[in-house]
């Protein structure tokens, strides 16, 4: 897979995350941000491994998000808290899965369309 569409997807994901945070408060922005965080991780996986199967990229993205969430049960260094968070929140695990499934679906449809 060409890296250009993946870079565009990553940029759009960042823009969507910033837009959601700017337009909404409370649970909408928080949980949309969680899902988009995992979508961004998915795009980074595909950038690093362009031939990765969508289900593998989804598993890596969700797994990475979950690992970061579970790491919050311990102490996250202050300098990393803006990126990794600081408080474990069980519903976040669900929203990470939503982001992984959304990215997997979009990637699979893209491959079918272009394949």
Domain ranges for the chain: 3-114
pLDDT band for 1, please (50, 70, 90 cuts).
low
pTM assigned to the model: 0.92
What pLDDT does 2 receive?
84
pLDDT tens, position by position, 21-59: 999 999 999 999 999 999 999 999 999 999 999 999 999
Q: Is the per-residue pLDDT at 14 higher than 80?
A: yes
Distance CA 113, CA 92 (A): 31
Largest pairwise CA distance in the chain: 45
């Amino acid at each position: 897979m060409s890296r250009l569409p993946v870079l565009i997807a990553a940029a759009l994901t960042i823009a969507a995350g910033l837009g959601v945070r700017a337009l909404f408060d409370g649970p909408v922005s928080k949980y949309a941000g969680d899902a988009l965080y995992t979508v961004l991780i998915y795009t980074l996986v595909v950038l690093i491994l362009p031939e990765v199967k969508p289900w593998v990229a989804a598993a890596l993205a969700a797994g990475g998000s979950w690992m970061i969430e579970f790491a919050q049960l311990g102490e996250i260094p202050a300098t990393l808290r803006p990126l990794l968070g600081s408080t474990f929140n069980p519903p976040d695990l669900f929203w990470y899965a939503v982001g992984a499934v959304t990215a997997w679906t979009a990637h699979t449809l893209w491959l079918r369309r272009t394949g």
